[in-house]
Structure 1
Amino acid sequence: MKEKVYSESELLRMIMENSKDWQMFLSPEGGIQYISPGATEITGYSVNEFMKDAGLVEEIIYGEDLRIYELLKYESSSSGSQAQKDIRIICKSGDVRWTNQYRKPVYSGEGNLIGTVVVIKDITSIKEDLEKLSLFSEIVEQSTEAVTVMDSAGNIEYCNYALMEITGFTLSELKKIRVFDYIHNPETEKQFPGLGSVLIDGTVWRGQNRFRKKDGTCYYLDSVVFPLKNNAGKITNYVKISRDITDLKRFEEELRESEAKNKAILNLQPDLIFILDKEQRFSDYFVNDVEALAFSPREFLGKKVQDIFSEDMASKFNKYYTKAFATGEMTQFEYELLLKERVQYYEARIIPFGEDKIMAIVRNMTEKREQEQELLKLKKLESVGVLAGGIAHDFNNVLAGAVGNIELASMELDPGHPAFGYLERANKGLLRASSLTKQLLTFAKGGDPVIGVHDVKEILRESVLFNLTGSSVKPVFSLAGDLWMVKADKGQIEQVFGNLTLNAKQAMPDGGKLYISASNLSGLPPALNNENTSTGKYIKIVFKDEGKGIPPEYLDTVFDPYFSTKKEGTGLGLATVFSIIKKHGGSIKADSCPGGGAVFTLCLPAEVFGDEEYSDLNRKEESSLEGLKILVMDDEEYIRKVLTSMLSLLGILVDTAENGNETFDLYRKSVEQGTPYAAVIMDLTIPGGMGGKETLERLLPLDPDIKAVVTSGYSNDPVMANYKDYGFSGCLIKPFTLDSLQRMLVSLFKGDP
C-alpha cells in the first residue's frame, strides 16, 4: 500500500493540533484567525469561546501583569521582531497559572503585515520549581547552621554565610582547606575519629570538635558529614552541616564550675528553702543556718504542713499551695510565728516545679517590718519637725520681747533691789527655754550651725547641771583653766552636751557619777580622725559615766539613727549628737568596757585669742556706737520697741519699719538726703510681705556697701547659717540680750573710721 504524502501545511497543522502549547495566528487587526486546542488545555476555555470573543485573550490576563502584556505587544509591533514575557493568566476554574507568551509579526514579501504568531507555553511547574529552589537556597544561606559542600577530593566548593561568620574566614580562604588533610594527620585523626571512613566508604559521620578561628580563638562545632552520589552510585560531593556549640560548651564548663559556687551561695543566702510534695509533705530543705529554722529538721521532714503548724496557718498555706498548682504560677503570702516570746514575720513564695512538687522560699521579714515601723516613726517626726519649726520661730519671737524687757527692767534697778534677783533668774530661765526651742528645731528642716565664739566652760556647766536637775547622778567637772573658746552654734552644742548628759543619766538609773573633762588639743589624735576634721586647734571634751557600758558589738552602731538599747530610748539622741558634731567639723568616738561605763570623747574646733584679743572680745565699747543711726525692720511692735530701747541705751539713733516696702522707702530717702543709715537690722520673715532677704536684694542696688543684719527666731534657716552668702554682714538670733546685740554691732563696725 502506497503511503500518503502530506503537504507541509498539513503536517504543520497536525503538529499544532497535537501540541500542548497554546498557538494562535492573529490578523493585523488582532482578530483570531487560528487557535490551537492547547488553549483549552491551558485555560479551560474552549476554542469556540475564544473564536466568538477575541477579547477573552486579554480578559484572562492577571491584573498585575496587564502592563507586562501591553509591553509585550508594544515591543513586538514596534520592533517588527519576536518578543516574549512571563505573564500570569486566570483560568476558567479561577486558578492562576504562569505562561511564557511569545509574539512575532509576519510580513509579506512587499513588507506588509500579514498577521502575528502567538505561542503561549504553560510554565507554572517550572516557576514553582524555581521558587522552591530559590527558597531552598535562601534557607541554606540564611541558616544559622554552617553548610559546607565539598568535591569528592575534599575541596570546599561552597559554604553559606554562617560558616564564614563563625570562622572569620572568607570563602576564598576556606577553599584552600582540604578536608582530606585531616585524614593523614595523626593528631587530627584523634580529633575526628572515623572521618576517613566517611570520605572513603561514603558513610555518615557525626561528631563534636574544637577548631580555631582566623583570629586564633577557639570554637566548637557539632557536625554531620554525608556523601552525595550520582545515579551510578559514585560519590560526587560531600555535605557538612555544622552547628556552633561554642556557647553551649562554655555554658557547660561554667555550669560545672558554678555548681559548687551555687551550692555555697544557696547555703549562704538568707532565705529558707523547703521542698514539698503534692500532699504538702516536707521532703528536703536548704538553709544557711539551722538556727534560723522554727523547727528542727527531724521535727518537719517527712511530715505534712498540718502536722506542724496551727490550723489557721495550715489553712492559709493550703490556699496558696492549691492556687500555685492550679495556675502553675508563683503565689505569695505573709504569716507570723511566735518564737522565743517574740513575734517573727515571714514572707513565703510558693513555686510549683516538676509534676508534683513545690518549692517554698521563706524569708524572715521581721527586721524589714521593724525598719518600716521606724520609717513611719521618722515620717511622723518629720511632720512634728514642720510643726516644731513654726512653734520655735513664734516662741522665740515672744521670748525676744520677754528677755529684752526683763533685761531693760533689771537695768532700772539697783543690784541690791529685792526684785533684781527675781528678774535675773527669770531671764536665765527664758534663755534656757530658748535652748529648748533650738532642740525643737532639730526636727525641722535646715540645721546648719550658726557659728559663733563661746565660752565652752560656761555652756558645759549650765547644760550638764540643767539636765541632771532632780537626778541622783552627780557631775564631776575637770575643766582646764586656760581652756580656749569654742567655735560653735551655742544652741546646737548645748543640745550635744544635754543629750550626752541624758544618755549617762539613763545609764545610771540608781545614781552614780558623771565625769566631764575638757582640755586644749593641738591637732587631732588618729583615732578620732574623720573626713570632716583636719589638723588645727581643738577642745577635747570627755563624758564618762559609771553605767553598765556598751557591749563591743554595739560600739559601731550607737550613732545610727533609731539605734537604742533602752526601752525608753528613741534612738535619736546620739544620732543627733553625731550629726551636729559632724556639721561643726569636729569628731566623736564611743568607747566602753562592759561593766566599766561608757566614754564619749569629742573634739570641737577652737578659737585661740591672745590676752589682748581676749580682753577686746569681752570689752564693752559703748562709745564706738554712739551717734550711729540704725533702721530696724520687724513686723512685731514689741520687738521693734525692745530693739529701740536697747539700741538707745547704746547711744544709737533708731528708726523702725513694719515691713520691707516701708524699709526700702526709708532707706532710699536716707540715701537721697546723703545721710544713709549706718546699718539696717531686718527680721528674716515678714508674714504676707517682703522679709529681710528679699528686702536686701532691693537695697543692695541703692547702697552696695550697706551693712545689713538679719535676725530670726528660726536659727536653723540656711540664711541664718550662711548669712554672708546672701549679702548680710551679720546675724542676730532671737531671743538676744543687750550684751549679744552690743557684741554683734561692735564686730560689725570694727575697723570703720
Structure 2
Amino acid sequence: MKQPPTEIYPLNDAMVQLIAELGQTASPETFHQLLTDFILEHTGLETWLGIHEYPHEGHFVFSCGLNPAPFSSLNIDPEKLPSLYSGQSLLMDQKPDHNLAVMPVLFGKKIIAILASPSSFFEKMLLEAPFLQQLAILTGLVIHHFFIRQDLEKRKNEMELKVFELALLEEVGTSLSPELDTVTIAKKLLLCVTGYLTATSACFYLQNEKNIFTRVALTGTSKKSLPMEIALPEEPSPKTWPRFIEKDPYQRSFFYLFLDNMGMELLFPLMDGKKITAFIMLGQSAKNRLHSKEELSLAAAMISQALSPLKNAALYTDLKKNNEALGKSLECLKKEIKEKEQAQEKLLEYQGVVAASQDPVALIGQDHCFVMVNRACAQAFGTVPEKLTGRTVTSVTDTELFQHKLKDPLMRCLAGETVRFRFSWSFPEWGLRHIDVAAYPYQDPHKKKSAAIFILRDITQMQEMENRLLQSQKMEAIGTLAGGIAHDFNNILAGIMGYTELSMARLEKNHQARTFMEKAVTACKRASDLVKQILSFSRGDSAHINMRPLCLTEITEDVLKLMRASLPAPLEIILAQKYSPLPVLGNATQLHQVIMNLCTNAAHSMPDGGTITIGLHRIEADHQLISLNPAFRKTAYAELMVQDNGTGIPDSYISRIFEPFFTTKAQGKGTGMGLSISHGIIGNHGGLILVESQPDKGSTFRVFLPLLEEGSTTRRNEPVPAMPKGGRERILLVEDEPDLLQLCAEILSGLGYEVRPESRPEHALKIFMQSPENFDLIISDQMMPRMTGVNLAQHMLALRPDIPFLLCSGFSEALSPDILENMGIQSFLMKPFTRSQLATAVRHLLDGCHLQTHT
C-alpha cells in the first residue's frame, strides 16, 4: 500500500506544551504515559513507546505504565532496521499473537525508539502519518535529551556514591590510622562496620599462630557464645578467599555451617596479599534486610582499611617490646658497666693492696710458672716482679722443696681446692724462714684458664713466740712441779745434810770418812742450789741469783769428772790447757750448767766418736778481740774453750744458734734451749760467747768471763769459823717431819739450847698459850698440815709480840721479806740448811738482830 507523503504541520500549542512537559519528565513511565495519552487524545490511536536499547541492534523495551503494552520488549531483526530509517510506518509481524504497526522515532540517523500499535490501527496510522512523523521527530529529540539527562543523573549518582564511599573509607582510615593498639583498632572497626550495615553484633578475630585466630573485640549481643580462639581449616586456600561470605542456606558449605554455628550472617576476611591475617563476623541486620553486593563490597573495603593500622600496631607492639627489652638491656648494660667499673675500682684497690702488702702474693699457672707476683714476693727471691714473672717455681726455689712441700698443695689448688700448709726454706734475701701459705683457686673471667693464688706469710717470729709461749707454759708447769716437790725435796736434803754434819762432828778430824762426808754435804748444797736454780729459771727470775767469787778452773774440773763418767766410750774429753787460778764472780751452779751444755752439744755433734778438747786461759782484751765483738771491755778475761771435731754448723745457722728453741736436731732429740740458756747465763755474768765452725770439721765455743783480782775466791780448804753456842735459852721447835724434828732438836741441844720439840702446830700453840713467857725463841716449819707456820706465828705473836720467831721452809715463793716483816717474823731459813746456818740464825735472833733471811 502506498503511503501518503509526509508533511510538516505547524506546531500547535498543545504539541509545544507536550514537548515542554516531556522535556521535564524524570522517569520513562511518565514520559510514556504523557506521549501515548497525547497521541490517543489527538488521533484516537492506541500506541506504545518502545525505547531502543544500546547498542541499538533491534532490542526495544516497553515501559510499564497505566496502559502497558501487552509485551515488555520487542526484538526486530537487525536486517529489517534499515527499512525503518525512512521514517514511514510499517506493518510487522513480530509476535505470534500480535501484528504491529510500527513507526520509527529517529534522532538523526539513529532509531532511538518506536511507536507500536496494533495492526488494526495501521490504516489510521497511515492517515495520521504526518502528525505522527512530526511528533516522532520532536519526540526523538526529547528522548535523546532525556537519555542524556538520565545518563548524567546516573553518572552523578555514581559519582556521589563514589564520593560517599571514598569519604566513608577515608573516615574509617582516618579513625584507625592513629591507633597503635590492636584492641582499639578492632573495636573502632566493628563500630564502623556495624553502623554501616546496621548489624546487631560483630566480632573481630586476629591470627596469632598458623590458622589460630584469637578474639580481640566483640560488640553487640551475639546469639551464641563465641570462643576466644578459632582454628580455621586449611581450605579454602588463600586463592579462593572472597571479599565477603554470606550465609547461604542453598549452599551448605563449610562457611554456612561455620557461620550458623557461630550465630553469624556474614564473614569478612582481612587479607594481606594471599594470606588471611584476621576476619570479622557480623550478626543479623537490625532492619532484617538483605544487603546488596555493593554494600557488602564497601564494607569489605572499610575492613581492608584496618590492614595497615593493624600492621603498624603489630610493629608498634614489637617495637615497644623491643624498646622494653632494649631498655632492660640498657639497664642491665648500665648495671653491668657500673659493676665492671666498681669491679675495676675494686680490682685497682686490690692491686694496690696486693702491691703494698708486705706478705708475698703470687699467681701461679697450670704450667707452674709465676703469672703475677707483688713486690714483696719478688724481694723475697732477690729480684723484681718483671724478672720473676714467667719463671717456674722450681727455678727460683729448689726441686726438693717443690716435690716435698709445694707440688701437692699446688696441684690440689689448681683442681679447685683451698689449701693451707706451712714450709720452711732459706730465702735468698730473708734467710731461713717459717712460712704459712694460704692457696686459693683462681678462675679467669673467661673461665678458660685456672690458676692458684699463693699468699705467703712469714710466721717465723710468730712461731718463735708460740715456741716461747709453749716453753713458758712448760716452765710454768716445771715451776708448779718444782714448787710442789721443792719442799719435800729440800726436807730430804736437810735430813741428809744435817745427819751427815752430825756424823762429821762426832768423827776425828783426820778420820778417813770425813772426806766422803764433806763431798756428800757439798753434793747436798749443789742439789739445793739446783732446786733454787730450777725455781728461779721457771719464774724467769735471774736478779736474785746468788753470785760470789769462785774459781772457773775448779768448776770446770768438777764438770769434766762428771762428763767422763757419763760419756759413751767412743768419745774422749781432754783438758788440754789449764790456767789456774781463774777467779770470777758468778753462780757455780749456773756456770756448771753452761759447761755441761757446751760439752753435751759437742758430744751430740760426734755420734760416731771423737775428741772434746777443753782449754782454760787468761786473756787480755786487745784490739783484735774487741774487733770480734764491740761488747768486749779493755780488761782481763777468763777464757773457757770447748772444741770438737764433729759435723760443724752451716754458715746459714751460725747467726741463729743462740735463738730460743732453734735446733737442727731431729724432733725429740733437743729443745733448742741449751745454747740459748747458756748465752743468757753468760750475759748475766757480764761475759760473752763466740763461736767458730766449719762444716764437717768441727766447732769451737769460747766463753769469756771478767776476771777478779787473784785471791778473791774462797779457798776450798780454808778454816771454817766456830759455830755460835747457846746459853741454855728455851726454844719451842715445831716440825711435822719426825726425822727433821729429831735432827733439829739434836743440833740445837748440841749447841747448848733447851728444846721443846712438837710435831703438831695446834699442840705447840696450846703449849705456848699456857705459858708464853716460858720460851725465848720459836722455830717453826712453814708447810704443815692443818696450820702453816705463818698462821702459827700470827697466833703466837698476837699473844706475845716480842717473841723471836724463826720460820723455816723448803719452798718460799710466797714469802717475801716484806711480808715476813709485816707479820712480825724476824728471821727466815731456807731448807736445806747446815748446822752453822741454823746456829747463826738462832744466835742472831736471840741477840736481838733484825730480820735475817738465810738461803
TM-score (structure 2 length as normaliser)? 0.43
Q: Looking at CA atoms only, which structure, 1 or 2, has the larger radius of gyration?
A: 2
